[in-house]
Amino acid sequence: MNRWDSTPVIRFFGGRKLLYILGVLLVVGLNILVYSNVGFIFDPFLIFVQTVALPLILSVVVYYLLRPIINLLESWRVKRIWGILITLLALVGLITLMVVLIIPFLEKQLISLAEELPRYLRDLINTTDQWLRNSMFSGYYTNLFEDADGVLNQLPDYISSYASQTVEGITSIITTVTNVVVAIVTLPFILFYLLKDGHHLPETIIKLFPPKTRSEVTSVFKGIDHQLSAYIQGQIIVSFCIGIMMYIGFLIIGLEYALLLAAIASVTSVVPYLGPVIAITPALIISIVTSPFMVLKLLFVWTVVQLLEGKFISPQIMGKSLHIHPVTIIFVLLTAGHLFGVVGIILAIPGYAILKVFVTHMFLWFQRRYNRFVEEEHQYSIDNSK
């Protein structure tokens, strides 16, 4: 036996290939050190990635939503190309219907809410101030916040003045609009080719790997595909159900801006755990200003919707496909939000699911490798004892 294969630990890490692996890691570390000092070279590449990231992500999301429909049409002996065209035309018709019927109404409600928001905040501050002054904490409140009265009363004016600063706001809006326009223009083309040839892409990539590793790579691709499909399809359906239930509930209790607040709740519910907290904030502000009884009605509607979603809708639609502990989800969301902002929060859970697939398969691969080497060591000991 080679001296590099003399112990199970060395053999577990590759035997005589251990020095080669360490050398590769050293070269990788030196490359990272060098590239970190000449990072400006990669600025065009980063700009390219930032430009194509949004349309690519949107295309992948829509791809997983439309793929079951395309496969269903194909099972009905409709040619895939015709199925794609029919589905895309139906999608364009649905989007056009939404733009004509729903978006203008949402736009009016959004503009009205933006105009009324300073008043809502001012009323909320005054209501809170009066309640604290008349509560059992009035003495502490008067002593601690006596100097802060002016700041609290001027807070809505501060918000309005900062919102009226248009220099940075216009630049940000132009950048956002440009990215959205690029995404909308390129989305149909990327989506068409994804639907047409996307199911052949994993096979093409797998052929680039050595034959003995293709089974492992195939398993990884299948795991990633399952995780993304289950998460995207399930989360969109769950969000749509939450939006409908919230809209019905807001209409029943007579809350203002019912459709807009339900749409916000539907969109933010894409983010687990943190989404409902973000969504309830504007509705809670409006209900507090309206009346204390409206707050109770809002909390009742919110509780009923969350119970229905948590106990019936999500288990039936999404099941336990991700197998991620709630505490892990919270830490992942907080970390991704701190590093990458809103985009990080949205992509945190599917990104973590993909990473988990890689780590799980790598662990299983090392585990099988270790068990094989343990069996060989045991056999080697038996042979030497004879």
Nearest to 250, CA basis, from 314, 302, 288: 302
CB 357, CB 227: distance < 8 Å? yes
Dump pLDDT digits (tens) for 194-211: 888 887 888 888 888 888
- Contact indicator for 281, 298 with CB cutoff of 8 Å: no
pLDDT in tens, 223-249: 888 888 888 888 888 888 898 999 999
What is the per-residue pLDDT for 11?
58
End-to-end CA distance of the chain: 17
Q: Please tell me the predicted confidence (pLDDT) of residue 166.
A: 45
What phi, psi does 128 have (nearest 5°)?
-65, -40
Residue-level pLDDT at 161? 55
235-257 exposure pattern, b = at least 16 Cβ within 10 A, e = fewer: bbbbbebbbebbbebbeebebbb
Using pLDDT thresholds of 50, 70 and 90, give the confidence band for residue 300: very high
Which stretch of DSSP H or E encloses residue 340? helix 326-385
* 339-357: pLDDT as tens digits: 877 777 778 888 888 888 8
Other residues' Cβ atoms within 10 Å of the Cβ of residue 305: 23
Give residue-wise pLDDT tens across range 306-324.
Answer: 888 878 887 776 655 566 7
| Polymer length of the chain | 386
Looking at the chain, the whole-number percentage of residues with pLDDT higher than 90 is 5
pLDDT at 22 over 80: no
Rg of the chain's alpha carbons, rounded to an integer?
Answer: 28
Record the pTM: 0.69
pLDDT at residue 167 greater than cutoff 50: no
Q: Which residue, 83, 57, 91, 75, is CA-closest to 195?
A: 83
